[in-house]
A and B are shown apart, each in its own frame.
Chain A
């Protein structure tokens, strides 16, 4: 996000407007306001590897605020874990055992029953304790803060998988930088009911409005004109391709009553998968993991929502007969401080991720050592998060990791 501006403050600004090399009035572009489209040259296009399985879908669930890995994939039997968290450690008897070392949070029973792949020690290189700095690094697939890419990692996946489908990537949690991309059709939905408006043939009065929007879609002048025209064109194309039938959400389902907002988002995802629009990458978000305080009751609630929403979603995938091609993977900007601050946990570094769907019950990555914390008392990274993203891209979607991520991050072998 480079600031692109040549504007001075007062009188000199007038001069700079007409200076040679500045935008001409005819273009409608004014110095200092450069629409995003103009800032972004197309990125290098990712590469699909030979032999990639067709039609696989990735659903990323972002645990917003920074999820504590040690409360998710829990080393409950480790004395050091119990020592550092006298109040907040989960008792060994409560966790859902995965092996003789770790167990899942007690509220992840559905996922435990299904079997999940856990990835421990996932974090940045030269990390940062700011939500925004770390969220931006995950968004751009930038493990060490030196990424040259300007698009979002999920946006690049969508661009790579783009086959002209009307909706290759969808954010179910409103607009997100994860999906900043070049040309695949992507959409951000803040509210599932918004899809109602898009359905064609529902209401006669929509037709004249859409016809008028068509004129806006053709205009490409003025400040922001090209961005607006493109957005209107995308909107109309999608309207033409979405199914017309009623697809109201099942508000009584456990997925929504227990899974809350995340359950709603994944319900919409299941509808879009059923509608078969060619969507390959979904982004959903569950907020509230910034547990500086009240960790002991807030975190279990969130784990319960995650379990109900993802468990219910995978059940639907079973019902739709597509379970073999849909994977759900968590991300989170960072983990949390290892020693408790009283009733909560401050910003941390490495954390543990979960992958559910047609994957084995396996432990990947390497647990960060509890007796060797970094200078801020946080878990050290054993597995750069670019390797985790590389795993999702290459092992699951069949996209060559080094074509969508900087460097040569080695996938972890999700399906081995």
Chain B
């Protein structure tokens, strides 16, 4: 569009706050805090939501986010009714993506994703859309509840039981997979248990079964004949350990609260807490009885953590943000696999690693490839001809001079039709450093 060159110049000459001397604000400078906070606490805030909070202080924004999340939890029944039934996995996956990219998506959607990435499960191994649907229901309705309740529900969750090979485990010949991952990944972490503890927990957890009646939904039940009902030693204590006691014991271990809270802190802020800080946070969270909502609130109200740090967007975070910004439909769900983060298809039981590898050339290549293969909506291109309009849609509140410069490159291709210009502005915006980070 004709105005775009002038717009770029205007961006360059706008005065900026001293502490961000090299950054150029996009739109009004008072959108910065809202943008940062909303990008961290939701998967992808729309321009409208950011506008709504422009100029508001952190506590006001957090108050709203939490209220919103509470009422979303209260509406559990209405979203559950919207979940597609049937045996086909694709409609359910599409529904979840639509929920994440919806303008109403908020803290609940981010936390549902967070817990899936922590307590992960692979749909192809579970091989039952019913069981995956039940698990997703649990994740979403418990995502801001009590971590202990969530974990207890998960060790009795059919999808997880099948994923971690506990379905046929017999106390006389136990399968160690669930016991090991429960300790290594979901709770206390390596260094806090021995192989003897794994064996003991595997025995104590044995007996869970999933019914396989023709024409009926698979349901989880407990087979006492396969269970170990006698005293054994776990974590140095002799007791008649069973699933309830094992999980309670792990929840009471300080390392559980420390690891989970530090992981959530990193997820929401990009800060990796050091051991002392993590221990302090964990102890505090233990005192909150592992209630998730107060923990999230504490993170989001921390000015320093939320205000200054950035971390790379993972594949799905980038994908949802791109769909939201450009109002694209998730027509090709396989894109998420190409972007390295297909829900319910983790690379291994530990889920997806966070960190710098999301910015390596392979990831950037997948993102560049996506923006070239996607079908752009004509009315979107017509209504977002200027770089500033596009950046606002992308939830970007400030840019580096080099990003500003990148957009000016497009104007050098004078033969390019205006729609092609707009397409390329969009492609660049979604591949700008500011969009790769959150």
Contacts and interface: CB of A to CB of B under 8 A. Distances in A.
A155 B273 CA distance: 29
A218 B402 contact: yes
B363 A36 contact: no
A208 B312 contact: no
B302 A9 contact: yes
Contact of A212 (B280, B304, B360, B409): B409
Interface string A187-214: 1111101101110000101111101111
Contact of B356 (A4, A14, A36, A198): A36
Contact of B437 (A65, A218, A224, A232): A224
B366 interface: yes
B433 A222 contact: yes
B328 interface: no
A342 interface: yes
B423 A224 contact: no
Contact of B277 (A8, A33, A347): A8
Interface stretch (A124-132, A156-164, A304-312): A124-132
B28 interface: no
A228 B357 contact: no
B288 to A, nearest CB: 14
A146 B124 CA distance: 36
A243 B303 CA distance: 50
A72 to B, nearest CB: 21
Contacts of B276: 8
B118 interface: no
Contacts of B407: 212
Contacts of B338: 190-191, 193-194
Given A5-B271, A36-B356, A216-B406, A205 B423 contact: yes
A216 B432 contact: yes
B158 to A, nearest CB: 15
Interface in A2-33: 3-10, 13-14, 17, 25-26, 30-33
A386 B423 CA distance: 51
Nearest to A170: B362
A86 to B, nearest CB: 12
A197 B302 contact: no
Nearest to B185: A132
A62 B350 CA distance: 18
Interface in B407-438: 407, 409-410, 412-413, 416, 420-421, 423-424, 427-428, 431-433, 436-437
A32 B308 CA distance: 10
A223 interface: yes
Contacts of A208: 409-410, 412-413, 416, 420-421, 424
Contacts of A31: 271
Nearest to A215: B406
Contacts of B281: 9
Contacts of A225: 400, 433
A410 B298 CA distance: 54
A33 B368 contact: no
Nearest to B271: A32
A264 to B, nearest CB: 12
Given A4-B272, A212-B424, A347-B176, A187 B365 contact: yes
For chain A, the bracket of interface size reads 35 or more
A207 B427 CA distance: 12
Contacts of B298: 10
Given A6-B274, A9-B277, A171 B362 contact: yes
A224 B406 contact: no
Contact of A30 (B309, B339, B423): B309
Contacts of A216: 402-403, 406, 431-433
B303 A238 contact: no
B150 interface: no
Interface residues of B, number: 84
A235 B400 contact: no
Nearest to B174: A341
Contacts of A10: 298, 302
Interface stretch (B65-73, B165-173, B377-385): B165-173
Contacts of B176: 129, 292, 346-347
B277 A5 contact: yes
Given A6-B274, A30-B310, A131 B349 contact: yes
Interface string B359-380: 1111111101100110000000
B6 interface: no
B431 A342 contact: no
Given A131-B348, A215-B402, A216-B406, A207 B413 contact: yes
Contacts of B219: none
B361 A234 contact: yes
Nearest to A375: B195
A221 interface: yes
Contacts of A189: 362, 365
Contacts of A221: 22, 400
A231 B372 contact: no
Given A33-B310, A208-B409, A224-B433, 19 more contacts: A7-B305, A9-B280, A9-B281, A36-B355, A175-B340, A175-B362, A187-B361, A187-B365, A189-B362, A190-B339, A191-B366, A196-B369, A208-B412, A208-B421, A209-B368, A212-B428, A223-B270, A341-B173, A342-B173
Interface of A: 3-10, 13-14, 17, 25-26, 30-33, 35-37, 64-65, 129-133, 135, 171, 174-175, 177, 187-191, 193-194, 196-198, 203, 205-209, 211-216, 218-219, 221-225, 227-228, 231-232, 234-235, 238, 290, 292-293, 341-344, 346-347, 376
Task: Please provide the 3 A-B residue pairs with the shortest distance between their CB atoms, ordered closest to farther.
Answer: A188-B362, A215-B406, A219-B402
21 contacts: A3-B272, A3-B274, A9-B284, A14-B304, A17-B304, A30-B271, A32-B271, A129-B198, A175-B363, A190-B338, A208-B416, A209-B368, A209-B427, A209-B431, A212-B406, A216-B406, A216-B433, A218-B402, A222-B400, A224-B356, A235-B368
